Structure 1
Amino acid sequence: MTQRRITDDLHVLMGVLPPRIAEAVQNANNSDQLLEIVMDLGRKPVARFTTGDLVLLEEEVTHEDLDFTVSRIGEFDADNRAGLERTLHRISAIRNRRGHIVGLTCRVGRAVYGTIDIIQDLIESGKSVLILGRPGIGKTTMLREAARILAEKKRVVIVDTSNEIGGDGDVPHPAVGAARRMQVPKPSLQHEVMIEAVENHNPEVIVIDEIGRELEAAAARTIAERGVQLIGTAHGRTLENLLLNPTLSDLVGGIEAVTLSDEEARRRGTQKTVLERRAPPTFDVLIEIQERDRLAIHPDVAAAVDALVRNNPLPPEIRYRDAEGNIHVEKPPAQPAARNGYGAMQAGFRRLMSEPAGGRASETAYSHREEMESEPRSMRTERLQPIRIYPYGVARNRLQQGAKRLGVPALIVRELAEADVLITLRAYYRSRQQTILEAEQRGMPIYVLRANTNTQIEQLLAELFNLSMQPEDGEDLEATIAQTQAAIQMVMNGERYVDLAPASAAIRRMQHEMARQYQLTSHSYGKEPNRRVRIYRE
């Protein structure tokens, strides 16, 4: 499949150049490969092509040459970029210490139809896609084409920081199709426009170029968490570059140092301090543009980061277009141990509640759920059926103590074959231990704890025995819900924060969930039995 290249009004760009320089560009007779024209005061003008640089004239650039171009283009914004009305061309300025322009970079803007077909399946999958690559390799061109294709079926909003995607002027360039474009008054306000786009214009897709600041990375995470697909570019060439960038590493989940116990470090054969992914990635898919027609694709960013921090990187999928325009896809070898650790961990954590595995206890523990929910907790625990638990990496004594405090019949077994469920820690689950794999093969529900603490263990046991959403004896659930709703309304009406009455862990979890539904922040304060929830705006 051949590309159809459309050069956007190159004669318009030539019209703002000094005539002798414009004539030299035309004499080079290679306009299809032209990237930029560089004019620096006191130096020879240079044309940059995809094949290399070419000195246009032996005469040096003068003040008059720079003034000629500046007088014929729009005003420079705060990022020292200007454009030409209804085109995709961009002129960037270099200034001296007094603010005078001493250099210009005139970038040729093109709309290239057909560039997105090599990744169109990923763009149309609904997943958020991040594109990396060196400057001038075609990230923005690909982004522009993605916006056009998606806008044929979805509501697309482009956050256009330097008018590079939709072109200069108030009317977006036809290359973006039906996508709507929001301009950014200052580059430092890009994150605010990103949030405004979601809150005011109900998009299904947000397209954003050059995510480069921490606030923009945070805004991207907020957008993704609201269920909006993101298609964006960022500074960097590879996934490794991005992970090492403290400003942008959150786009792929970030990394943090975790200290292991002596026993765990010996078991792994590693140092006590290891790196792990900090959070779910903002973007699901990452694309590295290696060359204009050659891409390296990480279809599961979470799995790629998990493997990378364990010094066992997953090979990317390679896609390239040959000289005839045909697309080739080279799949990496199968990696059975490489999977989305965080997503699978969460799925495992919920599996018992949604899909009982058919073991003795999992068939019976919930058979009288509706009947039990109407009884006091003391009566419910008496009627619960025993559940056999195999702890892998979790302290047995803490499990036994937690079961005793909750009054639930948890039986701690020493063999996996005897168990109804397996409980383990996040670190064990991510490293894909043989015991974990064996439990999955058996179809056994797996519960994953963030930490080996009494609180975590008791919360898990409460959920395992269906006690997690029940109030303590004496707690009025309806009154608590009404009070929480009233507090939420007060905060939304302008109160700085509202403290709720002390409540049990189950009630506090419900209050946190209600606050999240209204996009408010909540934290728990104090010690039991006086621990309470505070709701406030960020």
Structure 2
Amino acid sequence: MLLRLLPPFHRFPTINPIRSSQPITHASLHSLPFLGSTPNTSTLTSNPNSPTSISKPHHLNPCFDSSSSSSSSSSSSSSLDEDEDSEIELGRLLVLLPEEMRRKVSEHPELHHLIEIVMDLGRKPLARFPTGDFVLSNLPITFQDLEHATAQVGDFATDNRAGISRTLHRISAIRNRKGVIIGLTCRVGRAMSGSANLLRDLVYDGGSLLLIGPPGVGKTTIIREIARMLADDYGKRVMIVDTSNEIGGDGDIPHPGIGGARRLQVPNSDLQHKVLIEAVENHMPQVIVIDEISTKLEAMAASTIAQRGIQLVATAHGVTIENLIMNPSLEMLVGGIQSVTLGDEEASRRGVQKTVLERRGPSTFTCGVEIISKTELRVHCNLEATVDALLSGRSPNFEVRKLNAQGIANEIFMVEGDPSSDENSSKQHEIIPRDALEINGERFVHDEYTNAAEMLESTLEAALPVHLYVYGILETSVVQAIRELKMNDTIGLTDNISKADGLLALHSKLKKNSRIQVVAKSHDIPIYVTKTSSLLQITKAIRAFMREHADGVRDSVTEDRENTRSSEKLDALEEARLAIEQIVIPRGKPVELLPRSSSIISLQMNFIKKYQLQSEKIGKEPNVRLRILPLHASETEAIAHEEMIDDLSNMDDLNGSHNSATKLPLLSDW
């Protein structure tokens, strides 16, 4: 494998200026295999391993399950050609390294999973693999190492990116303040057939597709395969607007990984939006593929193209669809966001505040795909419905699609979101059971004090949700902070400051408006200020607001609970006093009191003894109660008790003591 990847080291001229005194010439660099700006045509036609001889598998079945095509013999031979081609291209990247580093990385067991090589001036070079970083040399990188590498790649554009001709590798430069290169990131590019199998049905339907994912997750690899799929498998006219030559590779001849798709290079990344319009007006494409939409002008150009009936396939940086909604430069891709003020009836029907966020217009793309990993995708088949659900605070519907090790879709399932906002609003008004009251994380278990539980419940209903008045800060930022804190059901925004429980304001705006400060103080509303409108500052302010509000609610609830218990004791004693003074003593009749807890019954019994009266417990739990006996009833019971004792003693005298035994007569002797 190593011999196919790199020629024997004795065939290379000495190319490391540090470790050899032999000078490097431009001619010696072009004498290396596969180096040089113009490939040898005769070599390409005679060599079966050349890139032009690679045949890509064609998946004629529109379904995304490609198990049938992968089992054919032609596909297996094509995969072998792809492996050889990938090894050759990887070797052309490793030639940029000095001999010692090249040998060390070639011996690594994960060579074919290499992600990138990092060379920074004065630091040890690193090779990054999925399992971690690997140090290529104990010697730090010097200017000669960097010059040796940059001399073998194309020219660096204004975005400090370059490439190797007819490969997918990307070389990114780090410059100092004088413009001198002091660091390189050599990113490995690979064309992976079948990487877009999970999206084959969406591509076949003809809808516009937006891929979202963080850097390094494989967006460019998937979009390159989609371009090849559309051009070769479905016979469409595909035009790629290649921002930094990552899709079609560096050089004038595009990489065979894009199949029959055509490629427009972008001379300056700031002019990409103009190149998009040029592609539509000059080349009559059916599909336009765009990599890394990042500015508002590019988003506007993509929206214009979508209105002309052209299928769009594009990528954007982000983790979820919600990131695009909150990105002011890219929100147009999902239809744009606007703030709408609802009427009282509509706000009451929806169960939301009067000011809400809604989608401004139709989405540029039909479907959205969140790339979780290289083998797992989250597909939003209706992007507009997803955006509407997120703006209304509901969870959207989406599909989760996964690939197995053979590149076949082996797990596809639907995740159902919240059906409607009405159910969410009804959940907010559910009655909390009295046996499990919870206020700000503190749980109060229902006990025998029914009145106390009712009072706690009413206090809870009055405390939640709390309302916040926002001044000088975008409501969208506050809503995002509330969602991240998972307090959607706890905190609500209000436009009426008199109904607010707290005021959240930007410090620079608040100090210029003394009137709102006076109004807040007159209504005894606490004020929380932030120095900036950053999400971190807003989150801290909301946490402080909820912490102080929770302390106030907890103190009031505890105080009410103690007051309730003390008042119930007083009620029980007052009940016993009235029963004794108004019924038991003057009328001589027994009275049954109301059921009470065991502790309160003990208090009542002690209270009754002070009147020199007797009482008895009757009933079973939880209806145990006291019966107060009148004075004559107590005396009668005492006399009856004494008479019963006398009768028992008389019976003992007649029958003998309890210890005596009656003697039986003796039997006569026969």
The TM-score range, normalised by the shorter chain, is: 0.5 to 0.7
Is contact 1:128-1:229 (8 Å) kept? yes
Kindly indicate whether residue 289 of structure 2 is the aligned counterpart of residue 203 of structure 1. Answer: no
Matching of residues 415-454 of structure 1 within 5 Å: none
Q: Which range is displaced more, 145-154 or 22-31? A: 22-31
User: What is the RMSD computed on CA atoms of the aligned residues?
Assistant: 1.7
- What is the match of residue 348 of structure 2? 266
The counterpart of 1:284, out of the listed 366, 371, 375, is 366
The Cα of 1:337 is off from its aligned counterpart by 5.7
Aligned-partner SS, 2:282: helix
Aligned to 2:445: none
Between the aligned partners of 2:417 and 2:344, the Cα distance in structure 1 is: 33
Q: Percent identity?
A: 54
* Number of the residue aligned with 1:123: 203
Distance 1:326 1:71 in 2: 42
Are the equivalent residues in 1 in contact too, given 2:212–2:369 (CA < 8 A)? yes
Report the residue type matching 1:212 in the other structure.
S
Aligned counterpart for 2:108 among listed residues 16, 21, 28: 28
What is aligned with 2:580? Answer: none
C-alpha distance in 2 between matches for 1:123 and 1:131: 12
The one-letter amino acid paired with 2:114 is L
- Where does structure 2 lack aligned partners over 5 or more consecutive residues? 1-66, 71-75, 422-670
Partner of residue 79 from structure 1, selected from 159, 162, 169: 159
CA distance in 2, matches of 1:22, 1:228: 46
* 2:178 equivalent to 1:95: no
Instruction: Give the residue type in structure 1 aligned to 2:277.
Output: I
State the SS of the aligned residue for 2:304. helix
What is the rounded CA distance, in whole Å, between the counterparts of 1:333 and 1:298 in structure 2? 11
Structure 2: how far apart are the matches of 1:129 and 1:24?
Answer: 42
The partner residue of 2:250 within 168, 174, 180 is 168
C-alpha separation between the residues in 2 aligned to 1:313 and 1:281? Answer: 19
1:140 is aligned to 220
Q: Which residue of 2 aligns with 1:150?
A: 230
**Corresponding residue for 1:492?**
none
Specify the SS of the correspondent of 1:68: helix
Instruction: Tell me, yes or no, if structure 1 residue 183 matches structure 2 residue 265.
Output: yes
1:330 aligns with 2:410: no
Counterpart Cα distance in 1 of 2:362 and 2:134: 46
Q: Which residue, 159, 166, 170 being the options, matches 2:241? A: 159
CA offset digits 1:98-153 (Å, max 9, x no partner): 10101000011101011111111111210000011111111101111110110121
Q: Deviations over 1:457-504 (max 9, x none)?
A: xxxxxxxxxxxxxxxxxxxxxxxxxxxxxxxxxxxxxxxxxxxxxxxx
Answer yes or no: is 1:42 the counterpart of 2:122: yes
Q: What's the counterpart of residue 474 of structure 2? A: none
Asked which structure has the greater CA Rg, the reply is 2
Letter in structure 1 aligned against 2:166: R
Q: 1:200 to 1:325 in 2, by over 3 A?
A: closer
Distance 1:209 1:331 in 2: 28
Contact 1:33 1:51 in 2 (8 A): no
CA distance in structure 2 between the partners assigned to 1:229 and 1:325 by the alignment: 26
Aligned counterpart in structure 2 of residue 255 of structure 1, from 317, 320, 337: 337
Which amino acid in the other structure matches residue 313 of structure 2?
I
Amino acid at match of 1:90: R
Shift of 1:16: 1.8
Q: Deviations over 1:149-192 (max 9, x none)?
A: 10121000000110110011111111111101000000001110
Question: How many residues are treated as equivalent by the alignment?
Answer: 338
Letter in 1 for 2:180: H
Matched, 1:107 2:187: yes
TM-score (normalised: structure 2): 0.49
Cα separation, partners in 2 of 1:249 and 1:71, compared to 1, 3 Å? same
* Residue type of the alignment partner of 2:323: N
**1:257–1:274 CA contact under 8 A, matched in 2:** yes
| Contact 1:34–1:47 (Cα < 8 Å) also in 2 | yes
For residue 13 of structure 1, what is the amino acid of its counterpart? L
More strand by share: 1
Q: Equivalent residue for 1:16?
A: 96
CA distance in 2, matches of 1:21, 1:257: 57
Task: Structure 1: state its 5+ residue gaps.
Answer: 339-538
Query: Counterpart of 2:155 in 1: which secondary structure?
Result: coil
Output one character per residue of 1:416-465: Cα deviation in whole Å (capped at 9) or x when no partner: xxxxxxxxxxxxxxxxxxxxxxxxxxxxxxxxxxxxxxxxxxxxxxxxxx
